[in-house]
Amino acid sequence: MIARRELLLLAALAAAGPALAAPRPVVTILGDSITAGFGLPAAQAFPARLQEDLTRAGAQVLIRAAGVSGDTTAGGLARVDFSVQPDTTICLVALGGNDLLQGVDPKVTRANLEAIITRLTRRHIRVILAGLKPPPAIGRSYAREFTALYANLARTHHLTLYPDLLAGVGPGLRQRDGLHPNAQGAQVIATGLAPVITTALKGSKSKSWSIS
């Protein structure tokens, strides 16, 4: 027969079932001011909107924003080991905008991103790479090389690629600086990323997302 103490223990474990359930997978977004929600309340930044969209869709996931305004890929590389915590399942790397604004050599940007990817994969953290498309004012040669580095990295490391973090965020969806999304623009980013995160959580193979 089962002793009374064992019965009590089993009852306690059954009552605590939800608390003992496996923790939600964590998706960390390693980014710059767009991830940090520059100019917006935290609840209106795209990571918070992404969390809302995924929760509404029934996805059991925790979105953790690790954005620092002004961060370049070099800054992201310097802090990746402590900004992306050990419980992270997937890291969305959304860096490069400030490299673009500062005219950093695309080869340097690529090297920094590759080092970030390497560090994360060595920690068994899956990586999604978010690219950026330079504005028309940028020189064609520079723009072409900058745009290509994301696709090349994704191909080399077999990563899921989201080609343009700001896809669909036109002038009317940006703040007065013309760079950062407003609340509506942040929602557009979240809506675009939600299926990418959902697919990655299901363990689907890497792909490049075409955003209309």
Looking at residue 5, its pLDDT comes to 58
- Counting beta carbons within 10 angstroms of the beta carbon of residue 210, is it exposed (0 to 12), middle (13 to 18) or buried (19 or more)? exposed
Q: Which two tokens stand for residue 159?
A: 């990563």
pLDDT tens-digit series, residues 8-28: 544 554 555 544 456 899 999
Strand order from edge to edge, sheet including 160-162: 62-67, 26-31, 88-94, 126-130, 160-162
The model's pLDDT over 23-76, given as tens digits with 9 standing for 90+, comes to 899 999 999 999 999 999 999 999 999 999 999 999 999 999 999 999 999 999
Catalytically annotated residues: 33, 177, 180
Answer whether 0.75 is exceeded by the pTM: yes
Residue-range domains of the chain with CATH: 23-201 (3.40.50.1110)
Q: What angle do CA 139, 140, 146 make, to 5 degrees?
A: 90
